């Protein structure tokens, strides 16, 4: 599957390898997940080598014939097997300055940008055929992720019980299960399923950065969206005009994982974002959060205070919620009453009263916070300070003997002051 197939088809047309009419005819004959380029190769209209050479020429890269290129065995230690399989890339040569890497899709800029970041060094990308790269990976890394591994590690938890992945599952069910499993293995915080004009783009947010991991034919969009809604158990398949929220519980490799699902209608169809909430992160203490020893002691003193307000700031996906829950997990003792207000409740914490915001019936952050003050809590956690009323009540609570935790969407800690001033 090529990341920018429309542009690649233009290049093949300009090179005189195919005509516009042949492309349209081939497009009408597609089946399943097959792409136009794959269909053209399968029907022997163009060869895989021709496609790779066109890609290489347009990207000013060298083309390499991997089948007749010897690669030293120790080279495969340069790229971990999961990275090689995910990016469809294999190491070829290392001159000490640049690591020469053969890639199957040089038009995928996420690969070219992501590999140097993950490997921690500069690369010299060259182009090879997808089948040659797959063969090298199979021979030296043990092949791709097998369906058996996916099936044995992935379970959807529903109200009726556990729904385990099976070899008899429909292709769409397998595709969605594999996508969720891959996101978990990559430690992604979000999964973005975005319909474009002619394709369906899948992106993961890893370490705060979005990475494009797959592209599917647009015709698979309705089936994938329907499967995700069915897994949630609460989202309507028939409703495509209004935003919807839902929740999916899965068990991956023995770990309980929650997915917070949000769908929004866009100009090309429904766009879905799934927030991955790994329950094992709840057990984090301050050392596991990555604090240095001096900072850890400072934070421990702060969260041990009887009153005040502690704000966790940072951009999307930076770990604000994980940090808050880690702090609450540290100070959650039987002699303290802890109440949280969240939109929605992301994790269920034992021994803590958690309140979910429901704005449609008037249960806002401010309304919930006012009610909580009559519950005589020691510690209050607000999912987010969004408006002046919520900020005012939170600060008043901090000034009247309560310890308040909350988050602010700012890029750094000093920005919290400006943000609070802007709120009012």
Looking at per-residue pLDDT, the higher value among 186 and 57 belongs to: 57
pLDDT band at 159 (very low <50, low <70, confident <90, very high): low
pLDDT of residue 163 exceeding 60, the answer is no
pLDDT band at 137 (very low <50, low <70, confident <90, very high): confident
Angle at the Cα of 99 from the Cα atoms of 93 and 105, rounded to 5 degrees: 95
3-state secondary structure the chain: CCCCHHHHHHHHHHCCCCCHHHHHHHHCCCCCCCCHHHHHHHCCCCCHHHHHHHHHHHCCCCECCHHHCCCCHHHHHCCCHHHHHHHCEEEEEECCCCEEEEECCCCCHHHHHHHHHHHCCCEEEEECCHHHHHHHHHHHHCCCCCHHHHHHHEEEEECCEEEECCCCCCHHHHHHHHHHHHHHHCCCCEEEEEECCCEEEEEEEECCEEEEEEEEEHHHHHHHHHHHHHHHCCCCCCCCCCCEEEEEEEEECCEEEEEEEEEEEECCEEEEEEEEEEHHHHHCCCHHHCCCHHHHHHHHHHHCCCCEEEEEECCCCCCHHHHHHHHHHHHCCCCCCEEEEECCCCCCCCCCEEEECEHHHCECHHHHHHHHHCCCCCEEEECCCCCHHHHHHHHHHHHCCCEEEEEECCCCCHHHHHHHHHHC
User: Which pLDDT belongs to residue 148?
Assistant: 38
User: Which pLDDT belongs to residue 147?
Assistant: 39
User: Which pLDDT belongs to residue 149?
Assistant: 38
Environment class of 394 (CB within 10 Å of its CB; exposed 0-12, middle 13-18, buried 19+): buried
pLDDT of residue 247 exceeding 90, the answer is no
Summarised one tens digit per residue, pLDDT across range 268-312 is 999 999 988 776 656 667 777 777 778 888 999 999 999 999 999
- Average pLDDT value over all residues in the chain: 83
User: Which pLDDT belongs to residue 172?
Assistant: 84
Give the chain's domains with CATH numbers. 5-141 (3.30.300.160), 150-278 (3.30.450.90), 293-423 (3.40.50.300)
pLDDT band at 384 (very low <50, low <70, confident <90, very high): confident
Mean pLDDT of 309-322: 83
Mean pLDDT of 80-91: 84
Angle at the Cα of 108 from the Cα atoms of 177 and 59, rounded to 5 degrees: 160
Residue 55 neighbours by CB distance under 10 Å: 26
Q: Distance between CA atoms of 240 and 236, rounded to whole angstroms?
A: 8
pLDDT of residue 345 exceeding 90, the answer is no
User: Which pLDDT belongs to residue 276?
Assistant: 87
Summarised one tens digit per residue, pLDDT across range 186-233 is 878 899 999 998 889 999 988 778 888 888 888 889 999 999 998 888
Mean pLDDT of 92-114: 85
Of 210, 312, 313, 363, the closest CA to residue 355 belongs to: 363
Q: Distance between CA atoms of 20 and 7, rounded to whole angstroms?
A: 13
Residue 255: partners with Cβ closer than 8 Å, 6 or more residues away = 278, 279, 280
Angle at the Cα of 235 from the Cα atoms of 234 and 240, rounded to 5 degrees: 165
């Amino acid at each position: 599957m090529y990341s920018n197939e429309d542009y690649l088809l233009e290049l093949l047309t300009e090179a005189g390898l195919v005509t516009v009419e042949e492309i349209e005819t081939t497009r009408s004959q597609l089946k399943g997940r097959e792409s136009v380029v794959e269909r053209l190769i399968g029907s022997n209209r163009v060869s895989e080598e021709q496609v790779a050479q066109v890609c290489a020429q347009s990207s000013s890269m060298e083309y390499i014939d991997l089948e007749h290129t010897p690669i030293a065995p120790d080279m495969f230690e340069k790229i971990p097997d999961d990275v090689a399989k995910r990016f469809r890339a294999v190491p070829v040569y290392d001159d000490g300055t640049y690591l020469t890497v053969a890639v199957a899709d040089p038009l995928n800029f996420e690969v070219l940008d992501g590999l140097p970041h993950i490997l921690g060094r500069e690369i010299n990308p060259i182009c090879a055929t997808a089948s040659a790269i797959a063969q090298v990976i199979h021979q030296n890394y043990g092949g791709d992720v097998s369906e058996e591994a996916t099936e044995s590690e992935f379970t959807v938890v529903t109200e009726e019980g556990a729904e385990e992945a099976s070899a008899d599952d429909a292709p769409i069910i397998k595709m969605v299960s594999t996508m969720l499993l891959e996101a978990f293995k990559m430690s992604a915080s979000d999964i973005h399923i975005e319909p474009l004009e002619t394709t369906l783009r899948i992106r993961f947010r890893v370490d705060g950065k979005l990475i494009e991991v797959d592209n599917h034919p647009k015709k698979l969009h309705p089936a994938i969206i329907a499967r995700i809604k069915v897994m949630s158990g609460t989202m309507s398949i028939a409703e495509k005009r209004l935003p919807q929220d839902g929740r999916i519980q899965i068990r991956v490799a023995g770990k309980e994982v929650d997915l917070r699902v949000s769908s929004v209608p866009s100009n090309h169809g429904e766009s879905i974002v799934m927030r991955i909430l790994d329950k094992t992160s709840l057990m984090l203490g301050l050392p596991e959060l990555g604090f240095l020893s001096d900072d850890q002691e400072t934070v421990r003193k702060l969260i041990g205070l009887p009153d005040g307000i502690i704000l966790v700031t940072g951009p999307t996906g930076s770990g604000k919620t994980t940090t808050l829950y880690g702090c609450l997990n540290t100070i959650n003792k039987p002699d303290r009453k802890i109440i949280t207000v969240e939109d929605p409740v992301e994790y269920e914490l034992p021994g803590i009263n958690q309140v979910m915001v429901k704005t449609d019936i008037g249960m806002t952050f401010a309304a919930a916070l006012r009610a909580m003050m009559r519950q005589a809590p020691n510690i209050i956690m607000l999912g987010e300070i969004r408006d002046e009323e919520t900020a005012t009540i939170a600060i008043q609570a901090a000034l009247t003997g309560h310890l308040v935790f909350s988050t602010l969407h700012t890029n750094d800690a000093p920005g919290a002051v400006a943000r609070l001033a802007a709120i009012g």
